[in-house]
Homo-oligomer: A and B are copies of this chain.
Amino acid sequence: MIKVGIAGASGYAGNELVRILMQHPEVEIKKMSAHSSAGKRFDELYENYRDINEMTCGALNMEEMAEECDVVFMALPHGVASKAVTPEILEKTVVIDFGADFRLKNADIYEKWYGVKHEGRNLLDDAVYGLCEVNRDIIKGKRLIANPGCYTTCSILSLRPLVAEGVIDPDTIIVDAKSGVSGAGRGLALANMFDECNESVKAYKIASHRHTPEIEEQLGYAAGRDITISFTPHLIPMNRGILATCYASLVKSLSYNDVRDIYEKHYGKEYFIRLTKEGVFPETRWVKGSNFVDIGFKIDNRTGRIVVVGAIDNLVKGAAGQAVQNMNIVFGFDEKTGLKFPPIFPA
């Protein structure tokens, strides 16, 4: 049993993390913090925990959490972790950060896209990008894990095998992504009120969403060179789920089976990545509530493009589930521990 701290439990990702950890056989939740709700009981913030989690949320105190916990999950906005995490903290505890601070290796790019100064440049080398299926081997033994973003997890995993094998032109990549509203967080905002979201769909932050450089960096590693992509997020009237529809030009003519072989090579042994059958495409309902990534593709001979579709639950594989998967890797548990729950449907 390891002791866990959750900083930022009051957001949707924090709430989901609690749900998963409460069912994890190797974990005890020791401390929870929630900035604006400090002093409140967790089941007052989230009544789903009525009678089953009556812990009180404290104010964020990293030193104390680090002292008492083997691992601290930071489900907080960007800019917090880079200030709060120090080498001293990392000596005492493992940090798995849901924010963006340690995801990009290049702090200048971070500062450009996020518009704030990076306060933790000294730790960037110690951090690892926690995309489990890709970086599993270098995650082991690390103390600072940058848990990937929701859109990025879905987009990178969907496209990476094609980029790595050099069968698509990376400069033609376009990712058109659709997210449920929980991706926007629990903060009050007119745009996220029921009547403003329901019965509507919109694109937002076109060509300017902060997950763009994260996708570019990771796919760039696979390509062996810098790449630039188009990324457009959309808001969909549903609670959970991300669907990424990805377009790219093939550099040569390939059959369905050729491409299938590539995906099998990369993901054939991955429990959490499921390839759909030919002619079947992922839908978010089939992954909801689970840590799965579903991936399917179609080759369009008319245009010479491939269309790859990926689906995840943004709060699980896109946040809390992947964070726990990272924890499992770091602490040497079976990677699937506490994460094997099937998707829930209809839900």
Q: Which residues of B contact A178 (CB under 8 A)?
A: 178, 201, 234, 236
Shortest CB–CB separation between residue A235 and chain B, in angstroms? 9
Contacts known (A230-B305, A342-B49); A202 close to B281, Cβ less than 8 A: yes
Is A50 close to B, CB under 8 A? yes
- Assembled-state Cα–Cα distance A234/B230 (Å): 19
Q: How many residues of A contact B (CB 8 A)?
A: 85
Q: Does A284 contact B (CB under 8 A)?
A: yes
Quick one: which of A9-55 are within 8 Å of B by CB?
A: 12, 15-16, 18-19, 22-23, 46-53
Residues of B within 8 A of A302 (CB): 207, 228
The reply to whether B190 and A188 contact each other, CB–CB distance below 8 Å, is: yes
- Residues 159-214 of A at the B interface (beta carbon under 8 Å): 174, 176, 178, 180-182, 186, 188-190, 192-204, 206-207
Residue-wise interface mask of A (138-178) relative to B, using a CB-CB cutoff of 8 A (1 in contact, 0 not):
00000000000000000000000000000000000010101
Residues on the B chain within 8 Å of A232, using CB: 176, 245, 307
For the complex formed by this chain, how many copies does it contain in all? 4
Chosen A-B contacts, 10 in total, with CB atoms closer than 8 Å, are A47-B280, A48-B286, A176-B176, A178-B178, A194-B237, A198-B239, A200-B288, A230-B307, A234-B243, A289-B289
CA–CA, A16 and B302, complex, Å: 36
Identify which of A289, A292, A347 gathers the most chain B CB atoms within 10 Å of its CB.
A347
Residue in B280, B286, B292, B303 whose beta carbon sits within 8 Å of that of A207 in the complex:
B303
Q: State in angstroms the CA–CA spacing of A189 and B194 once bound together.
A: 10
Smallest CB gap from A345: residue in B: B48
Q: Report which A residues bind B (CB closer than 8 A).
A: 12, 15-16, 18-19, 22-23, 46-53, 174, 176, 178, 180-182, 186, 188-190, 192-204, 206-207, 228-230, 232, 234, 236-241, 243, 245, 247, 274, 276, 280-290, 292, 294, 298-300, 302-303, 305, 307, 309, 340-347
